[in-house]
Amino acid sequence: MTITYTPRGVCSRKIDVTVENGIVKDVRFTGGCNGNTQGVAALCIGRAVDELIPLMKNINCGGRGTSCPAQLALALEQAKAQNA
């Protein structure tokens, strides 16, 4: 299943994430810090949604109270809920 998530409070404008059987298969950020978002995406591929959410959920970027990884965690929570 692929979902599109609209992040809030960060530079990225869109996150597309594909999850199959609880495993992240693909992550694509639109906007944001290109190198950082590519790195986060690459580190997520092949890992379990339940492992990634707590790792990224509370990451703060520049005092914003959120970050691109934290927004990805919210996208993964949404994907998990839709797949339940």
CA 63 to chain CA mean position, Å: 19
Match 């890992």 to its residue by tokens. Answer: 47
> In whole numbers, what is the pLDDT of the chain averaged over residues?
96
pLDDT, greater one: 84 or 46: 46
Give the pLDDT confidence score for residue 55 in this predicted structure: 97
What would the mean pLDDT of 10-16 be, rounded to a whole number?
97
- Domains, the chain, ordered by start: 2-83 (3.90.1010)
Helices (H), strands (E): how many in the chain? Answer: 3, 3
Residue keyed to tokens 């409070």: 9
Of 28, 48, 47, whose CA–CA distance to 38 is shortest? 28
pLDDT, average across residues 13-38: 96
